[in-house]
């Protein structure tokens, strides 16, 4: 399976912070926001990832992440000239995906929870589509999934005015290779975008859509507003200080996955600055 991280958009809700820089390059406590979705796909075992950015921000992402080898991975890059909907990621990334299955992670979503990696690693050979549901207090701001009495998904609605359920669909999706052709067949919505909800509805009609409710112990944080950005940073700070473990430390995940050896990490640390993040990485050999 390959992975796509959609890190485009103009970040208008975070202006003026995003007037000159992508919101996915803004800090969430001690690391850039983009580290978090990258780590989510890493936990699922996805080593080949495509970062889709805007023309303005492409160079900055490549400067930050390089080719991915420092994390035992492979990064490719593509540009989305203007926001055309989440499902446009499959059209932009068609060549990258090839004949593989694909996971899509939104660049401004953070997932964290015990057992999350094991849960996600079971989806790398998905048939059809696998998405998630998460209970929220404000479902009208998200795509919403409705279930019948047997717990089977019956409908998907994008930002409904009167939601029929409290279960939002977070920004993490797993698909078989058919998703490319489905995305091509989707007609733009009234917003002029290729909606991911339309893709999921297609799988639902085929009875090939599986919706899994994320357990209460899993945190899903959407960082699209200043308030949410601050809340996410505070959450990460508290978790790291209480547990002594870093959230979304890419070097640590790569090491524990066996993608990087201690020797490779130590070599890369020779040029790393002296700060709390890299001090944590230096201590991996003792953990």
User: Is residue 207 domain-resident?
Assistant: yes
Q: What is the pLDDT of residues 40-55, one digit of tens each?
A: 999 999 999 999 999 9
Per-residue confidence band for 285, with pLDDT thresholds at 50, 70 and 90: confident
- Position 252 confidence tier, pLDDT thresholds 50, 70, 90: very high
In a domain, 32, yes or no: yes
Could you tell me if residue 108 is inside a domain? Answer: yes
Distance CA 47, CA 74 (A): 6
pLDDT digits (tens, 9 = 90+) for 191-200: 888 999 999 9
CATH number at residue 114: 3.90.550.10
Range of the domain at 26: 2-128+170-248
Does 237 score more than 90 pLDDT?
yes
For residue 279, the SS3 value is helix
Instruction: Find all residues with CB under 8 Å of 274, minimum gap 6, and list them.
Output: none
What per-residue confidence (pLDDT) applies to 274? Answer: 94
* Average pLDDT value over all residues in the chain: 95
Is residue 260 within 8 A of residue 251, CB to CB? The reply is yes
- 144 located within any domain: no
Look up the pTM and report it.
0.96
How many domains is the chain built from? Answer: 1
Q: With 80 as the cut, is the pLDDT of residue 287 above it?
A: no
225, part of any domain: yes
pLDDT for 132: 97
In a domain, 52, yes or no: yes
Q: Which helix (H) or strand (E) holds 76?
A: strand 74-79
């Amino acid at each position: 399976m390959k992975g796509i991280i959609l890190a485009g958009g103009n970040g208008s809700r975070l202006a003026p912070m995003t007037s000159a820089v992508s919101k996915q390059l803004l800090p969430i406590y001690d690391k850039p926001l983009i580290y978090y979705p990258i780590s989510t796909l890493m936990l699922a075992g996805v080593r080949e990832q495509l970062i889709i950015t805007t023309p303005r921000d492409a160079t900055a992402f490549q400067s930050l992440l390089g080719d991915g080898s420092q994390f035992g991975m492979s990064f490719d890059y593509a540009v989305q000239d203007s926001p055309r909907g989440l499902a446009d990621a499959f059209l932009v990334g068609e060549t990258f995906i090839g004949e593989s299955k694909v996971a899509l992670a939104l660049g401004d979503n953070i997932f964290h929870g015990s057992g999350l990696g094991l849960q996600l690693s079971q989806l790398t050979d998905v048939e059809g589509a696998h998405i998630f549901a998460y209970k929220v207090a404000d479902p009208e701001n998200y795509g919403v999934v409705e279930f019948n009495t047997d717990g089977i998904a019956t409908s998907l609605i994008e930002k409904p005015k009167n939601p029929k359920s409290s279960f939002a669909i977070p920004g993490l999706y797993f698909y078989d290779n058919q998703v490319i052709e489905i995305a091509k067949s989707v007609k733009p919505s009234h917003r002029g975008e290729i909606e991911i909800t339309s893709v999921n509805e297609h799988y639902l009609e085929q009875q090939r859509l599986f919706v899994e409710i994320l357990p209460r112990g899993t945190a899903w944080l959407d960082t699209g507003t200043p308030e949410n950005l601050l809340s996410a940073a505070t959450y990460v700070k508290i978790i790291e200080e209480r547990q002594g473990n870093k959230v979304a430390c890419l070097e640590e995940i790569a090491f524990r996955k066996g993608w990087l050896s201690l020797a490779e990490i130590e070599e890369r640390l020779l040029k790393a600055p002296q700060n709390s993040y890299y001090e944590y990485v230096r201590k991996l050999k003792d953990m």
